[in-house]
Amino acid sequence: MNYEKKLDKLRLPNYDKSPSTLVDGQVVTGWEAIVRNLQKSLDSYSVWAVDLYVGSYEEDFFRAFETTGREIVDTRSLLRPESELRTLTDRFITDDPLFGFMSNIRLCEYFDIPKVQALLRQLKDGRKYVVVGTGAGWVTDSDTPVVYADLARWELQQRFRRHEVKALGIDNHTDSASEQYKRGYFNDWNICDWLKDSLFQSGRIRLWIDHNERNTPKLFTHAQMLQGLERTVARPFRVVPFFDPAPWGGQWMKEVCDLDRRQQNYGWCFDCVPEENSLYFNIDGITVEIPAQNLVLWQSRPLLGERVWSRFGRSFPIRFDFLDTMGGGNLSLQVHPTNEFAHSEFGLAYTQDESYYLLDAGDDAVVYLGLKEGVDKNQMMEDLRAAQRGERPFDAEKYVNKFPAHKHDHYLIPNGTIHCSGHDSMVLEISSTPSIFTFKLWDWNRLGLDGKPRPINVERGQHVIQWDRTTPFVLSELCNHFEVLRTEQGLLEERTGLHPNEFIETRRHTFCCSVEHETGGSVNVLNLCEGEEAVVESPTGAFQPFVVHYAETFIIPAALGRYTITPCGRSAGQTCKTIKAYIR
């Protein structure tokens, strides 16, 4: 069956693209109403701090606060010169087009300290001020109330692509989107998240502004933020997925996830990457968007579980995303760095181990995985370099195993293993979280969506390829390594991986009745990979029933303990499948 016929047989879409948590109270919408509210609620304070996440439309805030009658202080006027800040950050940003080194810079290093000290004296002169910009909470006294303007990571990336915003203390808006992303990932976001966390922990944040929609800013209270986070972590939940085209992208997600049919393709979906995704709060019918990372920062123990938190800190270690090549092309032939390489070269705590679970596949779908027996390492590297120079195509099948791929197959990819998903596949990628550390070795003579060659990393790749991952190893340890754990009336539970070198464990349940699960002290991440609908319930009534739909990824916080999953709605009495991941 080709992919067009397969798409014709797909179910009607019921995939929820806008999951949300109900929060009490009301939202103040629009700049005029926001300013009036602040004047009413914070008028007794001589100084306000309006702290902006990097990438905010700063001029919008300055225009809005001109009507307050307060003197406006722009934190950018307190920064060190851009030339000094570039020198400060160069060692972390590097001249590599994709990769840098995780920065340990703190915000205080960005500011001209004598200017900050002068401002602190000025703010005590009896006049009324509003200090606006990134770091406003840091440059003001500890008794100054903070209004924090937060920003979702995906929206920030769209602003990069439109070249609308600047980096922290540096005007790089004309740089490529990938260069802007790199500076954010390795430097700016760490600094801003550290400051936001410090302000949160100090109790200084009184109000929050969601300005992800430029023309519809929304003000809500810190109490509502806390309630939203607490309610989210007290039940199963989903983050807000986002979708993106790719040079190899396909057509499957358009149908199943009900996406814009006018787009050429959709290749990616981040369906559970809390460092990148958002959460929605539904407050009196109005949607408020916050970074899902806030939940990881401030509800880490009930979310992750004590032992996972102890191992990973406030970092969500499991990632689920979609790779759609239905009607598209092969992904790049690639390899992920070893833990040792990731730590020494990029400053990462752990690397990106992963696996491919096939949600769907065409008749000729394939997976490239591991090396063939007897590969000449030096010749292969020379052939990759020649392909990189444009001299001749790389003969992938000469060196790399190519296996037929079928729906519900599971291929394990520990770091250092060469791999690639072929065309006409719908992959649920289950991996550890680091998101950009892929060394592309060969990209099939293909250009990126920008019309330029995509960066190739043959030289880095040669340092991490595990040359002993050849055909016997792949067949015995990486391909469909299923182990039956439990069979009962209406239930089959299987262990599907991951590889012992990886810290994620996966279980597949095939069921037509209610199945009991236990978080076991670790956050659980699941996907309904077969069946229309299922309901997640607490045996003790600890949370309201939570309905999930086909292909949706959902998170069970560790603190929930026992839960059940039962086919419901259009799937009542029928067979469903879930794939579940947790930390060993």
Domain 3-16+238-273+316-477 fold? Jelly Rolls (2.60.120)
Question: pLDDT tens-digit profile of 115-147?
Answer: 999 999 999 999 999 999 999 999 999 999 999
DSSP string, 301-312: HHHH-HHHHHHH
Tokens of 399: 């060196």
> CA 258, CA 71: separation in Å to the nearest integer?
48
pLDDT tier at 427 (50, 70, 90 boundaries)? very high
Tokens of 434: 């680091």
Task: Give the bridge partners for 440, in sequence order.
Answer: 334
* Positions of CATH 2.60.120.10 in the chain: 3-16+238-273+316-477, 483-583
What pLDDT is stored for residue 8 in this prediction?
47
Residues near 455 by beta carbon (within 8 Å), at least 6 away in sequence: 97, 98, 440
440 compared with 450, residue with greater pLDDT: 440
Asked whether residue 280 carries a pLDDT value surpassing 80, the answer given is: yes
Give the rounded percent of residues in the chain with a pLDDT score beyond 70: 97
* Positions of CATH 3.40.50 in the chain: 21-233
pLDDT tier at 11 (50, 70, 90 boundaries)? low
Residues in the chain: 584
Mean pLDDT across 501-525: 96
What pLDDT is stored for residue 291 in this prediction?
98
Q: Return the CATH superfamily for domain 483-583.
A: Jelly Rolls (2.60.120.10)
pLDDT tier at 298 (50, 70, 90 boundaries)? very high
> CA 545, CA 562: separation in Å to the nearest integer?
13
Domain 21-233 of CATH type 1.20.120:
no
What pLDDT is stored for residue 6 in this prediction?
52
What pLDDT is stored for residue 1 in this prediction?
46
Phi, psi of 40 (to 5 degrees): -75, -45
Asked whether residue 36 carries a pLDDT value surpassing 90, the answer given is: yes
Question: pLDDT tens-digit profile of 354-389?
Answer: 999 999 999 999 999 999 999 999 999 999 999 998
Q: In whole numbers, what is the pLDDT of the chain averaged over residues? A: 94
| Whether the Cβ atoms of residue 356 and residue 422 lie closer than 8 Å to each other | no
> CA 278, CA 125: separation in Å to the nearest integer?
41
Mean pLDDT across 329-347: 89
Residues near 353 by beta carbon (within 8 Å), at least 6 away in sequence: 336, 413, 414, 415, 431, 432, 498, 499, 501, 502, 503, 504
| Whether the Cβ atoms of residue 128 and residue 188 lie closer than 8 Å to each other | no
Mean pLDDT across 527-540: 97
pLDDT tier at 498 (50, 70, 90 boundaries)? confident
Mean pLDDT across 421-440: 88
Is the bond leading into 498 cis (omega within 30 degrees of zero)? yes
Asked whether residue 281 carries a pLDDT value surpassing 60, the answer given is: yes
Question: pLDDT tens-digit profile of 406-419?
Answer: 999 999 999 999 99
pTM of the predicted model over 0.85 = yes
pLDDT tier at 5 (50, 70, 90 boundaries)? low
Asked whether residue 3 carries a pLDDT value surpassing 70, the answer given is: no
Asked whether residue 13 carries a pLDDT value surpassing 90, the answer given is: no
What pLDDT is stored for residue 343 in this prediction?
85
What pLDDT is stored for residue 342 in this prediction?
82
Question: pLDDT tens-digit profile of 164-212?
Answer: 999 999 999 999 999 999 999 999 999 999 999 999 999 999 999 999 9
Question: pLDDT tens-digit profile of 92-123?
Answer: 999 988 888 999 999 999 999 999 999 999 99
pLDDT tier at 341 (50, 70, 90 boundaries)? confident
* 3 state SS of 376: coil
DSSP string, 313-325: SS---EEEEEEE-
What pLDDT is stored for residue 344 in this prediction?
86
Tokens of 359: 């949600």
What pLDDT is stored for residue 53 in this prediction?
98
